[in-house]
Structure 1
Amino acid sequence: MKRLSGLKKGLSLVLAVSLAVAYVPSSSSKAWAAPELQLNVKSAILIDAATGQVLYENNADEALPPASMAKMMTEYILMERIDSGKLSWDSMVTTSHYAANVGGSGGMLAENEQLSVKDMLYALSIYSSNDAAVALAEYMASNEQSFVALMNEKAKELGMSKTHFTSATGLTREDIEDPELKNNPLEGDTLMSARDASTLGLRLIKDHPSILEFTKIPSKKLRESDQFPMQNWNWMLEGKATTDFQKQFAYPGMDGLKTGSTDAAGYCFTGTAVRNGTRLISVVMNAQSTKKNPNKSEREAARFIETRKLLDYGFNNFETKTVVAKDSAVDTVPTVKVKKGLKNSVPVVVGDTVSLILPKDAKDSDIKKTAKDTTDGKLTAPVKKGQELGTMTVTYGKVTKTVKLVAAEDVKKAGAFRLFWRGVGDFFSRLGHTVKGWF
């Protein structure tokens, strides 16, 4: 009797079962080997806009002067306020003495002139207008220094670890033309890495996609009374060319983002283009012409020549592939046990589609999928359809993406009477298996 009592106690214990399962393909996964693109730049990076995957990088973490690429942060903060309703497109912005005299690209605005927020953004995004950038910064934060504090705060929030802003324009102290305006109380000068520029460009497009309605415009009059339109500094926009020389740089699908150039920065460009549903973002910093004794146009063209190399590499060698479909079953974790439910288990499906941008010759066997139940055997009814039950991690080389595993259906809680008789049935079933094992 003592032995049987001990068996009963043992049979009453609930065993926790781990469902963590890893799928290991027959061949090890390998990261693609980026070729030597022979870029004539100090730093560069190419990323996929949908996933943030890095497809190519070269010295991407060195902090360098970004010139007017810094204005992407001015655009980001402005668009954030527009989209949240804190600012109106029609609000009028007054140009201060400082804004009107800051120098560099622009020179479109007179002191005390008023333009709408929208027109100021046209000047900023098309003509890279420093006066418009400063006017907007002052409008949003009373003065440029206070706005720069917002820029640095936002950079930290976005994970731009190699970035430091000291102006809303990207101008250094030496770039500012008016001697009275050089006394910037902030330490250092604006610096940004290519990786950070790609991060900023990505977030600008993802969080505020309407910015592309501004950056893709080849030319536009700032005022109807103007004799000539503003010309976009981005020569890669289709329809942009104003000279035969510029025509060679038009790039199908190009619609942004921001050029930049100063003596310290050289010629820089954060570009983006979309083809067949795939959007890429490229950054080149301090691009150099390979011409012997290049003229100004040839020096300026270098950033577009190097950008084409990057984008061509990305579009020619990679494609977006659906690796796991939403609501698909998980072979390695088909179900998860449920306590006190009308059913003893619930089917498991993938909560969202997993897409990766992969080399066009990538093999399915090179993709690892690891599924894991995270309920620790403690899932108790009721269970709602879509309730998170675990995770699946998809890995190709150094690229990793994690997606939720969820319940495929509802499981209602069982009544007390049903649970009682289920417990009785389970007990005698286990007892029967134990007794059978004695003989």
Structure 2
Amino acid sequence: MEPNKRPVRLVSAISALLVGLLFTMFIGSASASAAPAKNSYSPNSLGLEVQSAILIDADTGQVLYQVKQDDVRPPASMTKMMTEYIVLEEIKEKRLKWEDIVTVTKEAASTPADGSQIYLAEGDKHTVKELYIAMAVGSANDATVALANHIGGGTEQGFVQKMNETAKKLGLNTAHFTSATGLLDTTVISAAELAKFARILLQQHPEFLEYSKLQSYKFRERDKNAMVNWNWMLGSNKNVTSFKKFAYEGLDGMKTGYIGAAGYCFTGTAKRGDMRLISVVMGAGSKESRFYETAKLLDYGFNNFEKKTVVAPKSVVKDAETVKIKKGVSKSVPVVTANDMTFLVKKGVEPQISEPKVTLLEEDKLVAPIKQGQVVGSATYSYKDADTGETIEKKVDLIASEEVEKGSWWRLMFRAIGSFFVGLFKGIVDLF
């Protein structure tokens, strides 16, 4: 009987081996589909392992580096920056106050538990400020929806309509919002326009950073633990054991994000000296890598660029040294630039700046009296980046460098008579 059993055992062993191989191949295939393969990222000189990215100067909007920046992708919780912007706008316009009480709706309390939240119950009452900080620090989806309900007439979709109207007004042409939180993958925007929006947010509401830089926040006194900021790159985390390897000098904002369709995302901003940069990475492979890739971008910016002043404040512009005015003690007024003209350029490179394009106010607006410092026109300078080919334009006001009083009736009358005879004499000369 023993000889007859050997073939059966051999076949069973081979079958088991084949099943094991097939299972290993299946698991390997599934793992590969769970995260982008390393070689699926677009080749780039910084070795960024992201689906898209951009780095800009916060002051001018000048693009310093980009990878597939115009691809339209889900931003995940970076969507909340628009919600934060609208809240700040409502406060600015005095339609909302930080101390206003928000009553949590059923919709907000029913926010899916598969994301960040502070476990609000229907009927809970909290101030706008409490909910805003929960959104900014802990990326709390239920707090976000509660604020959206409060501003949007009771529903999240009412607020979403406001989000899209705001995006259109700000010129964010790739942006389409379907939720206030970013939990839906139907919300989309490009990295380029997300950076553009982040710049608008910082320029119009610098107070945003007061909240985005908070390391933690205890929402309720009874809460056992405080919520911890998802932005592990905060410069203030340099002494926090868990995050010090991510902490980046000068970084004080802005927003992380993750859903399956988006991958790991991060919009960051850091300031060193007089330079503030804004970066966006979308579609990174892990929580940690989105910060490592951001550091590559910011390092490139801070290590390779510097601000260069090409026009000093109170400078005289060629061919616009003076401006003619009407009805003044003088017929013209000296003109200078209101402030300096600075561009961000590669270190060690002398920027080639074009001759300025001068635009003066209409004649009927250049009438005495003219005050010192009064704007009388503008000068536009342009600089072409040799690496990107992008032309950056900056405009500076031209102002009167001294005061010109209105001329007396007698002065203006005799000036008119003099002009009449000068014109008459010239007309006679032209006859011969």
Q: TM-score range by the shorter chain?
A: 0.7 to 0.9
Measured at CA, do residues 433 and 200 of structure 1 come closer, stay the same or move farther in structure 2, by a change above 3 Å?
Answer: closer
Is the 8 Å Cα contact of residues 332 and 371 (structure 1) preserved in structure 2? no
Task: Output the CA distance in 2 between the equivalents of 1:110 and 1:331.
Answer: 64
**2:360 is aligned with 1:374:** yes
Deviation per CA, 1:386-428, whole angstroms, max 9, x where unpaired?
A: 4443321111101101222232233333344334544555677
Alignment correspondent of 2:172: 160
Measured at CA, do residues 287 and 421 of structure 1 come closer, stay the same or move farther in structure 2, by a change above 3 Å?
Answer: same
Deviation per CA, 1:156-181, whole angstroms, max 9, x where unpaired?
A: 111111000000000117xxxxxxxx
Measured at CA, do residues 318 and 244 of structure 1 come closer, stay the same or move farther in structure 2, by a change above 3 Å?
Answer: same
Task: Output the CA distance in 2 between the equivalents of 1:421 and 1:200.
Answer: 57
SS in 2 for 1:281: strand
Q: 2:139 aligns with which of 128, 133, 155?
A: 128
SS in 2 for 1:279: strand
Is the 8 Å Cα contact of residues 117 and 139 (structure 2) preserved in structure 1? no
Alignment correspondent of 2:94: 85
Deviation per CA, 1:271-304, whole angstroms, max 9, x where unpaired?
A: 011111211111000013xxxxxxxxxx211110
Gaps of 5+ in 2: 1-43, 385-390
C-alpha deviation, 1:76, in angstroms: 0.6
Alignment correspondent of 2:387: none
**2:200 is aligned with 1:213:** no
Alignment correspondent of 2:26: none
Alignment correspondent of 2:129: 118
Gaps of 5+ in 1: 1-34, 174-188, 289-298
Structure 2 counterpart of 1:105, which letter? G
Is the 8 Å Cα contact of residues 55 and 63 (structure 2) preserved in structure 1? yes
Question: 1:163-312 alignment to 2 at 5 Å?
Answer: 163-172=175-184, 189-240=186-237, 246-288=243-285, 299-312=286-299
C-alpha deviation, 1:82, in angstroms: 2.1
Is the 8 Å Cα contact of residues 195 and 279 (structure 2) preserved in structure 1? yes
Deviation per CA, 1:343-396, whole angstroms, max 9, x where unpaired?
A: 1221111133333222222315x1123142535777764141244433211111
Moved more, 234-243 or 61-70: 234-243
Structure 1 counterpart of 2:228, which letter? Q
Task: Output the CA distance in 2 between the equivalents of 1:151 and 1:93.
Answer: 19
Measured at CA, do residues 409 and 361 of structure 1 come closer, stay the same or move farther in structure 2, by a change above 3 Å?
Answer: same
Alignment correspondent of 1:109: 119
Structure 1 counterpart of 2:335, which letter? V
Task: Output the CA distance in 2 between the equivalents of 1:71 and 1:348.
Answer: 46
Is the 8 Å Cα contact of residues 381 and 411 (structure 1) preserved in structure 2? no
Structure 1 counterpart of 2:137, which letter? I
Measured at CA, do residues 426 and 200 of structure 1 come closer, stay the same or move farther in structure 2, by a change above 3 Å?
Answer: closer
Alignment correspondent of 2:22: none
Structure 1 counterpart of 2:323, which letter? V
Deviation per CA, 1:99-134, whole angstroms, max 9, x where unpaired?
A: 223223223223222222111112111111111111
> What TM-score do you get using the length of structure 1 for normalisation?
0.79
Question: 1:15-54 alignment to 2 at 5 Å?
Answer: 36-54=45-63
> What TM-score do you get using the length of structure 2 for normalisation?
0.80
SS in 2 for 1:369: coil
Deviation per CA, 1:6-26, whole angstroms, max 9, x where unpaired?
A: xxxxxxxxxxxxxxxxxxxxx
Measured at CA, do residues 349 and 238 of structure 1 come closer, stay the same or move farther in structure 2, by a change above 3 Å?
Answer: closer
SS in 1 for 2:356: strand
SS in 1 for 2:232: coil
Task: Output the CA distance in 1 between the equivalents of 2:334 and 2:397.
Answer: 14
Task: Output the CA distance in 1 between the equivalents of 2:392 and 2:52.
Answer: 22
Q: 1:315 aligns with which of 299, 302, 306?
A: 302
**2:370 is aligned with 1:384:** yes
C-alpha deviation, 1:230, in angstroms: 0.6
Is the 8 Å Cα contact of residues 121 and 132 (structure 1) preserved in structure 2? yes
Task: Output the CA distance in 2 between the equivalents of 1:124 and 1:255.
Answer: 16
Is the 8 Å Cα contact of residues 391 and 405 (structure 1) preserved in structure 2? yes
Is the 8 Å Cα contact of residues 254 and 271 (structure 1) preserved in structure 2? yes
SS in 2 for 1:321: strand
SS in 2 for 1:247: coil
SS in 1 for 2:73: coil
C-alpha deviation, 1:241, in angstroms: 7.4
Structure 1 counterpart of 2:140, which letter? S
Is the 8 Å Cα contact of residues 73 and 151 (structure 1) preserved in structure 2? yes
Task: Output the CA distance in 1 between the equivalents of 2:424 and 2:159.
Answer: 74
Alignment correspondent of 2:41: none
Is the 8 Å Cα contact of residues 104 and 146 (structure 2) preserved in structure 1? yes
Q: Which has the higher contact order (CA 8 A, sep 6+)?
A: 1
Question: 1:286-365 alignment to 2 at 5 Å?
Answer: 286-288=283-285, 299-363=286-350
C-alpha deviation, 1:95, in angstroms: 2.5
Structure 1 counterpart of 2:229, which letter? N
**2:404 is aligned with 1:417:** no
C-alpha deviation, 1:240, in angstroms: 3.7
**2:380 is aligned with 1:393:** yes
Structure 2 counterpart of 1:196, which letter? E
SS in 2 for 1:319: strand
SS in 1 for 2:121: coil
Deviation per CA, 1:313-341, whole angstroms, max 9, x where unpaired?
A: 11111222333233322232111223443
C-alpha deviation, 1:94, in angstroms: 2.6
Alignment correspondent of 1:70: 79
Is the 8 Å Cα contact of residues 341 and 380 (structure 1) preserved in structure 2? no
The sequence identity of aligned pairs, in percent, is 46
C-alpha deviation, 1:213, in angstroms: 1.4
Structure 2 counterpart of 1:38, which letter? G
Structure 2 counterpart of 1:401, which letter? K
SS in 2 for 1:137: helix
Moved more, 223-232 or 263-272: 223-232
Alignment correspondent of 1:59: 68
Structure 2 counterpart of 1:252, which letter? E
